[in-house]
Structure 1
């Protein structure tokens, strides 16, 4: 079991995942949940903190607290996305975002799409430094991603448990989806709702899907990617029909993907190097005439490669001397 929990993965994977997670924190503040800032203007009497808010205890939101928290979290998340000071900035972002979520969810509504994302924020600082594109295998990186994956699957499985616990078997035969379509359905949802018994069948399918979600851990790696693709397709249909995005959950679910293959930073550096590096100097473009070694016109001649002690390209082209032949044979001199 311990080997499964700490199965090594490339450090480049957790570096890419970390950048994605912290950039989403900034996007969440600005685009996905900007309404949380409105809590600053709500009277303190309406604040009913979650259990953790009562346990610690956390302060009642005030305009000063909410606005300071907003800007501190935004700046810390953008700084953490660069990969610098991964432990100090990582723990800072987790603590600030945790308080941000307590404020958001202490006014009567709790979203369960944040669970896996919060777990990801909690475990990422434990990895330490990781560079994009680094193929070095790391058990610490594997543990952080595995714990996030478990949280993602628990979100599905426990959602089904809650449906059956509070709604009973009647949840599957009730009008849950019908009410959701009436409240926030799209034109596509209106078309689906007209098909007899299709919504009932969909409710049975949702329960089956959520209860069977742990199967993602027991299938082969090839099938695991197919299962994760199905997870994403489920949320795509959810957005297209009842406009519920589960955006933070979708970000956490990228912990199943081989993100190290993207290597955006490395690709950007290569593009920058090609534009300003010696490779792109005039006369050295690929396919230059003359077939000179190192000029892109032909293969490099033996005996004059980098690090062989020769004087470099100029010493063999300016002198007009061809490379040395076999032992005992004089090299011809080019006129």
Structure 2
């Protein structure tokens, strides 16, 4: 019985670890900036589709919420909400700003951004790189007050939303592997040795990828490398210190490469890797750590 209890306790500690509150503040800020960039430059379909209600094909969440086709008024309101919420989240991370600012701003950002994404993906295209950020922006509102200068003070209220962002970020890559398995007829070997990457280069030609597309060996080596990297994503929960940092940098390099070769950025997912970054260790003179801040308690990530 004691083993069962110990196992249950370990399971709960993994899913709800005590993680630094400062990291919540920094991750909130990163996601807030990404949300603004997303609605302005990347996921613009919410605004663009206001004039074409006939193409509205609501995703499951939109059906649950009984959302109508988006209108110009709704799109403008959501755009304003994302901007105001993001500014409040960024400013609210400073200690002298009332906690109510970050709480209200976080809620406004979550509602406006999630609705923007749900409407944007209800017109025929669902971008899987938005999974972690869309859920994360909501869950971060449950963490309570968090400041950039909280140092290594940790608790489970901060740990749970950060852990969920970490899990959903990793699932983005494992899900991609699963998709490759399905579309290749149940054989990852078939996908890795196929002409998928060459086909993508031909569809999105640029000066760099056209140099590589004629070399079948390079093409297949790149596909094997991409598959191996995606399969390695769960190692983020096993590795520590410099090894984890190296893994995260590897994924950032992967996305930089896909951007240079294909013009695909995956920035919403890239930003969510920030949940693994120990922002709480930012030097004292940068984060202005408050006097009497406690030590890290039970951090596992």
TM-score, normalisation: structure 2: 0.82
Structure 2 stretches lacking a partner, 5+ long: 1-10, 93-98, 290-301
- 2: distance between equivalents of 1:256 and 1:201? 28
Which has more helix, going by share of residues? 2
Find the partner of 1:144 among 161, 169, 179.
161
Structure 1 partner of 2:89: 80
Structure 2 partner of 1:67: 76
**Structure with more relative contact order (C-alpha pairs < 8 Å, separation 6 or more):** 2
Structure with larger Rg: 1
Find the partner of 1:53 among 62, 78, 87.
62
Structure 1 partner of 2:181: 164
Q: Is the 8 A contact 1:124 1:144 kept in 2?
A: yes
1:9-20 equivalences under 5 Å are 9-20=19-30
Q: Is the 8 A contact 1:39 1:61 kept in 2?
A: yes
Structure 1 partner of 2:292: none
- 1: distance between equivalents of 2:225 and 2:271? 24
1:321-332 equivalences under 5 Å are none
1:243-282 equivalences under 5 Å are 243-262=263-282, 267=286
Find the partner of 1:107 among 118, 123, 126.
123
1:18-37 equivalences under 5 Å are 18-37=28-47
Are 1:97 and 2:113 an aligned pair? yes
After superposition, give the CA deviation of every residue in 1:49-71 in whole Å (9 maximum; x if it has no partner): 11111122112112222222222
Shift of 1:47: 0.5
Q: Is the 8 A contact 2:88 2:106 kept in 1?
A: no
- 2: distance between equivalents of 1:181 and 1:175? 10
Find the partner of 1:202 among 213, 222, 225.
222
Q: Is the 8 A contact 1:90 1:125 kept in 2?
A: yes
Shift of 1:124: 0.7
After superposition, give the CA deviation of every residue in 1:299-330 in whole Å (9 maximum; x if it has no partner): xxxxxxxxxxxxxxxxxxxxxxxxxxxxxxxx
After superposition, give the CA deviation of every residue in 1:139-167 in whole Å (9 maximum; x if it has no partner): 21122211110000000001110111123
RMSD: 2.2
- 1: distance between equivalents of 2:259 and 2:51? 30
After superposition, give the CA deviation of every residue in 1:276-313 in whole Å (9 maximum; x if it has no partner): xxxxxxxxxxxxxxxxxxxxxxxxxxxxxxxxxxxxxx
After superposition, give the CA deviation of every residue in 1:245-302 in whole Å (9 maximum; x if it has no partner): 11111111111111234479x64989xxxxxxxxxxxxxxxxxxxxxxxxxxxxxxxx
Structure 2 partner of 1:233: 253
Mean alpha-carbon deviation: is it higher for 245-254 or for 18-27? 18-27
Structure 1 stretches lacking a partner, 5+ long: 271-335
TM-score, normalisation: structure 1: 0.74
1:286-325 equivalences under 5 Å are none
Shift of 1:134: 1.1
Q: How many residues align?
A: 268
Shift of 1:36: 3.6
